[in-house]
Structure 1
Amino acid sequence: MVSCPSGTNMRRADTPPRIPGSVGFGNRSCSPAFANRIVAVSRMEVIRRDFRREGFSEPLVNLLVAGNRSSTLSTYESAWRNWIDWCFRRNENSLSVPLKSVLEFLTGLHRDGKSYNSVNVHRSMLSKTLPAVDGHPVGTHPLVKNLLNGCYNLNPPKPKYNCSWDPSIVIQFMAQLGKNESISFPSLTRKTATLLALASLLRVSELAAINFQSINFSEESVKFSLLKPRKAQHSGPLQTISIPAIPEEDCCPVHALKAYVKLTGPFRGNSNINQLFISVISPHGGVTANTISRWIRITLKESGVDTSVFSAHSTRGAAASKASAAGISIDEILKAGHWKTESTFSRFYKRTMEPSIVPAVFQLDGQVLMS
């Protein structure tokens, strides 16, 4: 392992050295404190400026920036703000600091009780933002890698839940709401979102990305695609999801979706024609993942699930655990949940369920789940 002297500044090999203690903005140099105030506006402006400095055209810059998804950019922006604040308090130049400062920053996150995943996000953000050091991206420098190993060994990632709730109680609750055509718009919206989450194992961000115009009903199922790739998808066409219908119409995701599509038809126009889920309040614009998450939490709470413990995201683990207990093959579960390996499912999602006396009739990829 090659160590780096504590005073070594991080610079890109193909850019001219900066004046010690300052950072350049165009032809202008400024103090670390002033630089931090400017850079605090946006991490992406720093990235774009560096690309332009290399002489890259604006279309090229836009493609390079699009290499990270909006959710990743938002996460990195939050981590960047933490880095800016840390540097400002120490009068450090946030764009050109000794490696020692990066190590101390990450150490401080660990000392403050941040999880390994949180520390790793900050490491990744710095690696994709700051100049290289000793010929390494800062995030892959041997000392930084060793520090992350230490964080993992001392505070390894822990599963969010030790057990799971039984989808049976939620399905039974929604069946008791009555016919889809007779319940209110907000109730049908929450019911449809929750049933689709359980039947498809989609994340709330993926539910928000269901392409309304791709929905295709048949006598026995519904098929639809998403407006963007799934979380772990980095190649190939947009995925098509197929959900089979079940005889019990009052708790069938296909029948709920069909009723929802019919009910929302008069509310759709050019501004919301692509997104399946729209606001229950006029002018009925497309909704974000946060709104869908809130809808599902309301349904879970009304069903008797402890939402002080379980979030909307827990529908993935609950439905997948139910499928596993019902004997559905692990390959089918991994495919539906878009998990690459069985170890990921087993470690973070597969859980024993809290006791339930309510029978369930539900399907995952055409196979019936019975309690």
Structure 2
Amino acid sequence: MYTKILERQKYLALLKYDNYERSSSKNITQEPYPGCREALRHSFNRRGACADAAILMLSSLSDSTIKQYNTSLKLWWQYCTDNNIDVFEPSKTSILTFLTTQFNNGCAYGSLNSHRSALSAFVGNNIGSDECVRRLLKGAYKLRPTRPKYSSTWDPQLVLNHISTWFPNIELSLEKITKKLVISLAICTAHRVQTLSLIKLENILSSENGINIKITDVIKTSAPGRDQPVLFLPYFKENT
């Protein structure tokens, strides 16, 4: 099944690449924004990537990153269309002006940094490391710094005290004991919901000291050369 899906993706990519090559003389900036994946695919093709290579390059980006880049590239596409700028080969002045315009429209440092990251992937040319771009972002941070996502914390002991009343376990409903387990895992491991959702029975190993849970799927923090997380839950013998 996976092979058939991959072959279909390759076929569609080759078809789009062929259509793109035949229409390369057109100014694609004048075309409607095609979406993040298609825009990046065109960009990779223009920079020398064949259809298969473009598929691999797109696979390096997670769905959440594509969603984040989509907002930035849609704004960039419209900006280039309005100002008659080559969307794929802009000048540094155009990029700086675009970022400044977004700042003047209310963007804080975090949003500008997302725009920079998207343009770096889309345009290339080491935009992210350009001295002027870095200086602009530094100025944006000082004038309009990113606020903390959370302004306060809560006491987990309140939750632990509450779920400790859900006892005995054998008398709990499946829904309630599942919630108790997930809450306990979240507090004890401090891992994301994504990580907890990827726990598989075959990756749960018991030892004399506790339970080890291997996470074998790719998660947000996964990277080449980086070890996958292993959740360790020591036995709480005082409460047995």
Higher relative CO (Cα under 8 Å, sequence separation at least 6) belongs to 1
Alpha-carbon shift at residue 82 of structure 1 (Å): 3.0
Q: How large is the Cα RMSD of the aligned pairs?
A: 2.9
Alpha-carbon shift at residue 241 of structure 1 (Å): 1.6
* Unaligned ranges ≥5, structure 2: 1-18
2:163 equivalent to 1:174: yes
Cα distance in 2 for partners of 1:55, 1:111 equals: 36
Query: Cα–Cα, structure 1 residues 170 and 88, in superposed 2: closer, same or farther, change >3 Å?
Result: farther
> TM (normalized to structure 2)?
0.75
Cα distance in 2 for partners of 1:78, 1:130 equals: 15
Alpha-carbon shift at residue 48 of structure 1 (Å): 2.9
Query: Cα–Cα, structure 1 residues 98 and 71, in superposed 2: closer, same or farther, change >3 Å?
Result: same
- Cα offsets for 1:208-264 (capped at 9, x unmatched): 233342012346522111112551644234222211132476xx9xxxxxxxxxxxx
- Cα offsets for 1:142-186 (capped at 9, x unmatched): 221211111122123332334311110011111122333333333
- Is the contact between residue 32 and residue 91 of structure 1 (CA under 8 Å) also seen in structure 2? no
2:15 equivalent to 1:26: no
2:161 equivalent to 1:161: no
Cα distance in 2 for partners of 1:57, 1:84 equals: 22
Q: What SS does structure 2 have at the residue aligned with 1:113?
A: coil
Q: What SS does structure 1 have at the residue aligned with 2:212?
A: strand
Matched AA of 1:76: Y
1:82 to 40, 62, 75: 75
Q: What SS does structure 1 have at the residue aligned with 2:122?
A: coil
Partner of 2:173: 184
1:66 to 59, 66, 73: 59
Partner of 1:216: 205
- Cα offsets for 1:286-338 (capped at 9, x unmatched): xxxxxxxxxxxxxxxxxxxxxxxxxxxxxxxxxxxxxxxxxxxxxxxxxxxxx
Q: What SS does structure 1 have at the residue aligned with 2:180?
A: helix
1:121 to 114, 121, 124: 114
Cα distance in 2 for partners of 1:233, 1:131 equals: 21
* Unaligned ranges ≥5, structure 1: 1-23, 253-371
Cα distance in 2 for partners of 1:125, 1:193 equals: 35
2:237 equivalent to 1:242: no
Matched AA of 2:30: F
Partner of 2:189: 200
2:38 equivalent to 1:45: yes
Cα distance in 2 for partners of 1:90, 1:128 equals: 21
Matched AA of 1:26: E
Across the two proteins, how many residue pairs are aligned to each other?
Answer: 219
- Is the contact between residue 43 and residue 122 of structure 2 (CA under 8 Å) also seen in structure 1? no
Cα distance in 2 for partners of 1:182, 1:117 equals: 48
Cα distance in 2 for partners of 1:191, 1:81 equals: 43
Cα distance in 2 for partners of 1:47, 1:114 equals: 23
Matched AA of 1:177: W
Matched AA of 1:30: K
Partner of 2:13: none
Query: Cα–Cα, structure 1 residues 193 and 121, in superposed 2: closer, same or farther, change >3 Å?
Result: same
Cα distance in 1 for partners of 2:143, 2:222 equals: 27
- Is the contact between residue 30 and residue 81 of structure 2 (CA under 8 Å) also seen in structure 1? no
Q: What SS does structure 2 have at the residue aligned with 1:26?
A: helix
Give me the identity figure in percent: 26
Alpha-carbon shift at residue 57 of structure 1 (Å): 6.2
Cα distance in 2 for partners of 1:184, 1:81 equals: 48
Query: Cα–Cα, structure 1 residues 178 and 56, in superposed 2: closer, same or farther, change >3 Å?
Result: same
Which range is displaced more, 97-106 or 145-154? 97-106
Q: What SS does structure 1 have at the residue aligned with 2:163?
A: helix
Which range is displaced more, 99-108 or 199-208? 99-108
Partner of 2:130: 141
Matched AA of 1:231: T
Cα distance in 2 for partners of 1:177, 1:204 equals: 22
> TM (normalized to structure 1)?
0.51
Matched AA of 1:200: T
Query: Cα–Cα, structure 1 residues 196 and 233, in superposed 2: closer, same or farther, change >3 Å?
Result: farther
